[in-house]
Amino acid sequence: FPEMLSNPKLVLVQGTLNTVMKQNVTLSCLSQPGSPPVRYTLFKHNQQVSASNRSDLTPALFTLTISSASDVGEYKCKAEYNNSSGGKYSNSLNFTLIEPVSKPVLSSPTSQAKKGQNVTLSCFSENGSLPITYLFFKGKQNISPQKTMQKREAAVIFLFIDSLSDFGTYKCKANNSFPNNSKYSNSFNFTLAEERSHSQPLIISLGLILPLLIIGFALAIPFFIIPLYKASE
């Protein structure tokens, strides 16, 4: 009589559970103890994917190619003797598809600043599998620790404009678990805001009042100045 089968173990022997398009993965399924021959069947969401008959105590190997989103999800295997009812199911392995990050957008509520002012920069990649990690740069120099965002939201840093050198070119970089796919943002520059002197409001006021005085004087000539001139003759 064959030895009673145990629940088989489904193990990933090649590839990763976080997969990308066109990636090959290999799964191993083995029931120990068990008496060969044993039939192993691989299922994805209760639908049969492949089967293998083993006449020895070596595991059944299943190689898959992740070619579309329908290839990811939960996989299990089943071990059974031929011409027997029932069978034992393994643990499940769940594959997910990694989406590369899109080019991030670097922005700020203000593009003008002056020395002594606090400003913010935000970096956001609209597409890509979470989590996404962001880094901020001024020129080629990293200016903040990396920020890993678990939600679809922007990473924000706060800067203090202390000198003219702080008005350089800023960029940010985004990446996730998708291999070799870091993306850099657009460039962003703060411009120096013009500081108004205390005399400027006075000059503006005089520029508005003086024409009004001239117009008022011109209108007063027929009514006041000409009668006074005639009265003195």
pLDDT tens digits, one per residue of 23-82:
999 999 999 877 789 999 999 998 999 999 999 989 999 999 999 889 999 999 999 997
- Write down the pTM of the prediction: 0.62
CB 43 within 8 A of CB 8: no
Q: Is 170 helix (H, G, I), strand (E, B) or coil?
A: strand
- Spell out the long-range contacts of 205-214 with Cβ–Cβ below 8 A and sequence spacing 24 or more: none
Res 32: pLDDT = 86
Mean pLDDT throughout 118-137?
96
Spell out the domains of the chain, with CATH numbers in brackets: 9-97 (2.60.40.10), 105-192 (2.60.40.10)
pLDDT in the model for residue 42? 98
Q: What percent of the chain is helix, strand and coil (3-state, nearest 5)?
A: 15, 40, 40
Q: Bridge-partner residues for 44, per DSSP?
A: 47, 75
CA 209 to chain centre: 56
Residue 4, classed as helix, strand or coil, is: coil
